[in-house]
Structure 1
Amino acid sequence: MYRIYDCLAHQHDLVLVIVALLIGLGGIHTAFNLYARACIGRLRQRIAWLFLTGVVTGGGIWATHFIAMLSYDPIVPVGYEPTWTAFSLVLAIAATTAGFAVASIAGPHILLSRIVGGLVVGLGISVMHFTGMSAMQVPAVVTWHMDIVIPAILLGAVFGMISLWLAGTAQTPREKLLGKVNLTIAVATMHFSAMGALIVTPDPSVPVPAQLISQEYLAIGVAVVATLLIAIGFVTALLDRQLRDHVSDRMRILGDSAIEALVLTQNGRVIDTNESFLKLANIRREDIENQDFLSEWLSDTPPAFQSGEIAYVETTLSLRGIGELPVEVIRREIPADDISDATVIFGLRDLRERYAAEHHIRFLAEHDSLTKLLNRTTFNDRLAEALEESDETGTPVTVMCIDFDHFKELNDSYGHIAGDHALRELGERLSKLFSDEVTIARVGGDEFVALLHHQKRSTEEEIAARSRDVAQQILDSVAIPIFINTEHRAKLAASIGIAHYPNDGNDAESILFHADLAMYRVKQSGGNDLVYYSSEMDEEYRFKRQISSNLRIAMENGQLALHYQPQCEAGDQSTHSFEALLRWTDPELGSIPPGRFIPIAEETGLIIPLGEWVLRTACQEAARWKNPLGIGVNLSAVQLQKLDLPEVVANILDETGLDPKRLELEVTETALIHNPARSLKILSDIKKLGVRIAMDDFGTGYSSLATLQNFPVDRIKIDQSFIRKLVSSDQAVAIVRAVINLSRDLAMEVIAEGVETDEQASFLTDHNCQSVQGYKYGHPKPISDYAHIVNPTEATLQPGETDGKPANRDSGIETV
């Protein structure tokens, strides 16, 4: 080490040493710029750039060597043999060209090729050095310290390998800097270490050739060669860089004008991006340059996309420290040209909005738009999956049908906006019951369904208990009053029918149907409860279906008939009107009481045509009577909600020619409260026709003085349940007396139904009841049995006379 220091400090001109180093740095700097260009582009262009790289690198190293030699003072005269001097330049150019060429080879062994290339360059420096040293001719004996020569050669080789290993493809300033520094160290350490190993022993007997290059001429020659080579390389690299920058700038302007994010890569490494990508990833350009784009940013892409077999994929963009971003990626390849290597362009588009839109569309398709619960279609799919899983695993499944009690009244009272608000509120409450075990859906109107999964080994008792718990939670959540406005709160209840799979049905359709049957059983019992399905409900349903079907046939085939029951004056028992009562005798089932088939007709909608038939038939019959007695016809609650009812009544009166004053329509209090406003309008319009209105079954429903005050009622009918208890119940006596007095005070007529005994008749007469009706005065019969009353002749019966048969109790249930 001391010999090296002594040689450098005392045997070298430090100014020339510095000049040599500067020339070496200039050459190496230009060389790596050329090498960076040689690593891209087509093969022919790469060969040309590699040769130019070798020329500049070899020339720079050669110039560095000989200028440093000129700074060396061996004490004896020095000359340089021209051939070996020129040959050393050729060796320097050849070695560096070969080394850089090997290092530029891309492939699976790229690291090995760079190390080997660096080794060739490092050894080439040594070969050039010792070849150049052999060109030095001095009158002396030249020997070497081999213990310094070998380390010098190794240092040159090691730093040469490090140089091209760290330089890579020299596409970034950092790679270039590392390559330049280490190659400069390789040249300097190898040269000055080797010079420290040189021993020059003067010997005048050593012959010196005559044709030598003097140090002065050598200095001029080296300076000219070094300047030309470095200048050629520098100018060439500068022009190429300007051309590439121009093309790159145009491409960047074009890329930045695109909405899609664009990433350009060469050999898998990012060389550029547009502004859209930087905004998408929220990064700076330097954060991604020279990174392996596929492995670091699109790691989830399939191998076929990474290899270029497919050009489109939907994947995720990995954002460091942020997460993943859904994107669609299009891959396009640009072949290598004279300016650049083969380039792959990746176009990326953010899929968050599309995925959000698809999610929203899917949500709308699967959920009810009002309550945000599942809709019917989605629930049916979930139910099918649950039943399939139950078949495979034996896990029991429970289905609940839920219907809100009196929801129609809420709509009618507060409007449909309030009804929608109530459904939204109920939907939000029920959604809180959602879990892995409970699924709730709205299937239409105020109808909801729930699906309950049980544990695999649940017993029937556990299934029933769990179902009851969930149903009770639903009942409790529905029972909480719903805010309508500052003055009103609506309180609802629910009817819940429960069916278990597979005990209560073997498929989705049957299990839903049976749960629905159980729910209707709750509705018929008053609601606000839960009922489990039983097989008896099926029998009842089949009976209702048969009744409904046979009733349609009966209407078409004329199997229906009207019976008439007289309504008499309480005093002289003279008949002043008849009440028309519907009767049906079925060929299969025999005589069916109205109380059995009328509710079924109301459920199925048959009550509308059936009611019109009764009204038309009764009016036609009454119009034929010579005695212009009154005729009473009952209206059902369903009919009373039809806005066209006044028009129907008017048309029937016109068709039959019946005097409107003879017609009395009987309605119940219960029918009026379904929609008081609508009922009032309909009855008022009917009243304008001249038709009378009677309040039927007064006292048994929602009796209210407001009902009598607000509705255009002409007559009150005291229900037969009170008349029947007149003899045995003081309470019944008080009620009947009060109703009679009330009607008188309100200037309304009153009639008592169900009068059967003399005691009942006497009580009513004593208390000034105007009219009576019951078995005491006549049974419901075909009008032909009362021909002597409706078409009186000379042989008429006395008032109140019957056919002589005993008064058997009739059901007394009126038609619609």
Structure 2
Amino acid sequence: MILFVGTAGVAMPVVFKTLMSGVGGPDVILTNALILNIALILLGWHRYKDLNTELQARRISEEKARRLAEIDDLTGCLNRRSFAERLSILLETGCTEDRSLAVVAVDLDNFKRVNDLNGHLAGDAVLRATAQRIERVLPAGGVLARIGGDEFLCVLPYHANAPDRIENLVTRMIEQVASSVKHEGSALEVTVSIGIASSIHLVGDDLGDQAAQNLMHKADIAMYHAKKQGKNRFYWFEPPMENELRFRNKLEAGIRDGIANGEFVPYYEQQIDLETEELVGFEMLARWVSPELGIVGPDIFIPIAEEIGAIGELSESLIAQSFEDAKEWDPTLTLSVNISPVQMRDPWFSQKILKLLVAHRFPPDRLDIEITETCLHENIGMVRSMITSLRNQGVHVSLDDFGTGYSSLAQLRSLPFDRLKIDRSFISELKQEENGSALVDAIISMSDGLKLPITAEGIENEAVLEVLKSMGKMKGQGYHYGRPEPADKVVERLAARGMLAGSHQNVADLAKAREIRNEKAASDKLTG
């Protein structure tokens, strides 16, 4: 611009003089310099505009990148990293003797089912609605973040002597989220489990640089405790919860290792014909022979195996072992096997059972698969298909724990069951309450009408046995006939009764054969 002013100051007067007088002409070199200078000015101006546009685009990109790094794109809440940073600042500046911070962990119950049944767009709608409803409840100074999946975290300031304020707020939060979410004409129902941890829970090693992470972890522990206690509720963090979670994690790891190491073994409970008092079969019951915990019952490890997705592998391993054990018994003895409701969600379940039967050359007509009433309420169409597939191959299918799951008569008529098992809770009430006897009698009458034989579980004493005998023909099982036994004890029992497969084999022969088979299985596992 300075060059333009200087050049134009010399050249322009000459130009004007020439135009006015018509004599002479401008200096050619000076005029060319002026024109070139103007061109450079225009070029610089365009470059300046381009640079400004580029800088503006860069600022927008940087702002978007910052937002993506700090904000959850779906819900507009903070994400886990930015929430932890904000919580760290609040712990340093917002906590006093009177003021505390509460971290609230919110997790949607059964969110996977919403996605599976309605699609991920419906799941996204539920997450957005949940975030909006939580934000409406939050007081001034509250911070909300989605830390991944279907879990949210809030931080709320409150007076240390008034924790009930947080409890009232969380109660409103549960009520707000419980309202159905409308999506494409469907009403999506969700509930939440909530855990609360206060900054007053931070002591000793919990303080310092990791204070925010530790407080978030404690809120998570309380939230998982709420889920375990039935969901759709809240709990404050308490130190025993952390010990319980550590033990739970230890059990999960132990179950996975136990399956790989063959620590789960079948035990067998006798099934007796009450009329003839003859042994007619066994029910296989799982036991965990843990090197650290000893013998663990199924009520401990089965629910955990179901939750961590290991129940299918565990069950198939036990069934394979029981097939080999049962081949040593008299061919007239049946083998009953319980199936988890989780396994019935697998559309290939019946094919897996049939494959095991073929692999172990076990007669299908000796196998009785027992499923619970819970399975019927999840996907009755799939259950019907599986039952039909199994029965077509000769496998028997029984409805277990009958009377506890509210099965309708229409379901019993439409599903091709071979047998009903009366739940032990009804059997135990015999001789104690008149209603207990009347209820069992009604179930037996109904089974007679449906032409379904009965097995009574939980026969504990002679008095209950006598009442059942008076009610009609049925099979029975329970501690009155003995506790569940491992395979070698069953072989001894059957040898004493002369009920082993092949009269030429004795107990020692069978024990030796089992030992060889187990060694081969271990060798195959190592080389496989």
With the length of structure 2 as denominator, give the TM-score of the two structures.
Answer: 0.79
How has the CA–CA distance of structure 1 residues 41 and 253 changed in structure 2, closer, same or farther, with 3 Å as cutoff?
Answer: closer
Question: Is the 8 Å Cα contact of residues 373 and 406 (structure 2) preserved in structure 1?
Answer: yes
Corresponding residue for residue 6 of structure 1: none
Is residue 658 from structure 1 mapped to residue 357 from structure 2 by the alignment?
no
Corresponding residue for residue 169 of structure 2: 470
Is residue 561 from structure 1 mapped to residue 265 from structure 2 by the alignment?
yes
| Aligned-residue offset at 1:699 | 2.1
Is residue 516 from structure 1 mapped to residue 481 from structure 2 by the alignment?
no
**Secondary structure class of the residue paired with 2:6:** coil
Question: Is the 8 Å Cα contact of residues 105 and 154 (structure 2) preserved in structure 1?
Answer: no
State how far apart, in whole Å, the 2-side matches of 1:239 and 1:766 are: 137
Q: Which of the residues 20, 30, 33 maps onto 1:234?
A: 20
Q: Deviations over 1:48-79 (max 9, x none)?
A: 878x89xxxxxxxxxxxxxxxxxxxxxxxxxx
**Secondary structure class of the residue paired with 2:265:** strand
| Aligned-residue offset at 1:38 | 13
Gaps of 5+ in 2: 501-528
Corresponding residue for residue 526 of structure 2: none
State how far apart, in whole Å, the 2-side matches of 1:346 and 1:353 are: 11
- The one-letter amino acid of 1:234's match is M
Corresponding residue for residue 120 of structure 1: none
Q: Deviations over 1:252-290 (max 9, x none)?
A: 9996xx9xxx85xxxxxxxxxx8xxxxxxxxxxxxxxxx
Is residue 692 from structure 1 mapped to residue 396 from structure 2 by the alignment?
yes
Q: Deviations over 1:130-184 (max 9, x none)?
A: xxxxxxxxxxxxxxxxxxxxxxxxxxxxxxxxxxxxxxxxxxxxxxxxxxxxxxx
State how far apart, in whole Å, the 1-side matches of 2:93 and 2:484 are: 60
Q: Deviations over 1:497-538 (max 9, x none)?
A: 111225154433332332222112211221111001111112
Show the 5 A alignment for 1:261-340.
Answer: none
Show the 5 A alignment for 1:39-78.
Answer: 40-42=5-7, 46=9
Question: Is the 8 Å Cα contact of residues 740 and 750 (structure 1) preserved in structure 2?
Answer: yes
**Secondary structure class of the residue paired with 2:75:** coil
Is residue 402 from structure 1 mapped to residue 100 from structure 2 by the alignment?
no
Question: Is the 8 Å Cα contact of residues 623 and 658 (structure 1) preserved in structure 2?
Answer: yes
- The one-letter amino acid of 2:123's match is G
Corresponding residue for residue 192 of structure 2: 494
How has the CA–CA distance of structure 1 residues 715 and 407 changed in structure 2, closer, same or farther, with 3 Å as cutoff?
Answer: farther
Q: Which of the residues 137, 150, 154 maps onto 1:451?
A: 154
| Aligned-residue offset at 1:579 | 0.6
Corresponding residue for residue 249 of structure 2: 545
Q: Deviations over 1:3-22 (max 9, x none)?
A: xxxxxxxxxxxxxxxxxxxx
Question: Is the 8 Å Cα contact of residues 330 and 499 (structure 2) preserved in structure 1?
Answer: no
How has the CA–CA distance of structure 1 residues 517 and 46 changed in structure 2, closer, same or farther, with 3 Å as cutoff?
Answer: closer
Is residue 423 from structure 1 mapped to residue 127 from structure 2 by the alignment?
yes
| Aligned-residue offset at 1:658 | 0.7
Show the 5 A alignment for 1:160-179.
Answer: none
RMSD value over aligned CA atoms? Answer: 4.1
| Aligned-residue offset at 1:631 | 0.8
How has the CA–CA distance of structure 1 residues 441 and 697 changed in structure 2, closer, same or farther, with 3 Å as cutoff?
Answer: farther
Is residue 481 from structure 1 mapped to residue 189 from structure 2 by the alignment?
no
State how far apart, in whole Å, the 2-side matches of 1:238 and 1:430 are: 85
State how far apart, in whole Å, the 2-side matches of 1:651 and 1:610 are: 16
How has the CA–CA distance of structure 1 residues 793 and 756 changed in structure 2, closer, same or farther, with 3 Å as cutoff?
Answer: closer
Show the 5 A alignment for 1:672-751.
Answer: 672-676=376-380, 678-705=382-409, 707-709=411-413, 711-751=415-455
State how far apart, in whole Å, the 2-side matches of 1:390 and 1:421 are: 34
How has the CA–CA distance of structure 1 residues 449 and 418 changed in structure 2, closer, same or farther, with 3 Å as cutoff?
Answer: closer
- The one-letter amino acid of 1:757's match is N
Q: Deviations over 1:349-384 (max 9, x none)?
A: 286666555544544444444434333344344344
**Secondary structure class of the residue paired with 2:480:** coil
| Aligned-residue offset at 1:578 | 0.7
How has the CA–CA distance of structure 1 residues 511 and 742 changed in structure 2, closer, same or farther, with 3 Å as cutoff?
Answer: farther
**Secondary structure class of the residue paired with 1:432:** helix
State how far apart, in whole Å, the 1-side matches of 2:435 and 2:414 are: 27
Question: Is the 8 Å Cα contact of residues 412 and 675 (structure 1) preserved in structure 2?
Answer: no
Show the 5 A alignment for 1:89-100.
Answer: none
How has the CA–CA distance of structure 1 residues 492 and 557 changed in structure 2, closer, same or farther, with 3 Å as cutoff?
Answer: closer
State how far apart, in whole Å, the 2-side matches of 1:699 and 1:743 are: 12
Q: Which of the residues 298, 301, 308 maps onto 1:604?
A: 308
Question: Is the 8 Å Cα contact of residues 660 and 690 (structure 1) preserved in structure 2?
Answer: yes
With the length of structure 1 as denominator, give the TM-score of the two structures.
Answer: 0.53
Show the 5 A alignment for 1:141-290.
Answer: 234-235=20-21
- The one-letter amino acid of 2:5's match is I
Corresponding residue for residue 536 of structure 1: 240
Q: Deviations over 1:638-679 (max 9, x none)?
A: 333334433432232122111122112222223454455555
Question: Is the 8 Å Cα contact of residues 264 and 318 (structure 2) preserved in structure 1?
Answer: no
Corresponding residue for residue 154 of structure 1: none
**Secondary structure class of the residue paired with 2:281:** strand
State how far apart, in whole Å, the 1-side matches of 2:457 and 2:79 are: 50
**Secondary structure class of the residue paired with 1:571:** coil
**Secondary structure class of the residue paired with 2:485:** coil
Percent identity (aligned): 30
Is residue 441 from structure 1 mapped to residue 145 from structure 2 by the alignment?
yes
Question: Is the 8 Å Cα contact of residues 409 and 674 (structure 1) preserved in structure 2?
Answer: no
State how far apart, in whole Å, the 1-side matches of 2:122 and 2:381 are: 17
Higher relative contact order structure (alpha carbons within 8 Å, sequence separation ≥ 6): 2
Question: Is the 8 Å Cα contact of residues 287 and 298 (structure 2) preserved in structure 1?
Answer: yes
Corresponding residue for residue 670 of structure 1: 374
Question: Is the 8 Å Cα contact of residues 562 and 614 (structure 1) preserved in structure 2?
Answer: yes
Question: Is the 8 Å Cα contact of residues 452 and 467 (structure 1) preserved in structure 2?
Answer: no
How has the CA–CA distance of structure 1 residues 637 and 439 changed in structure 2, closer, same or farther, with 3 Å as cutoff?
Answer: farther
Question: Is the 8 Å Cα contact of residues 751 and 769 (structure 1) preserved in structure 2?
Answer: no
Q: Deviations over 1:766-800 (max 9, x none)?
A: 3335221112233212244443764575599xxxx
State how far apart, in whole Å, the 2-side matches of 1:355 and 1:251 are: 32
Question: Is the 8 Å Cα contact of residues 630 and 663 (structure 1) preserved in structure 2?
Answer: yes
Q: Which of the residues 775, 789, 802 maps onto 2:479?
A: 775
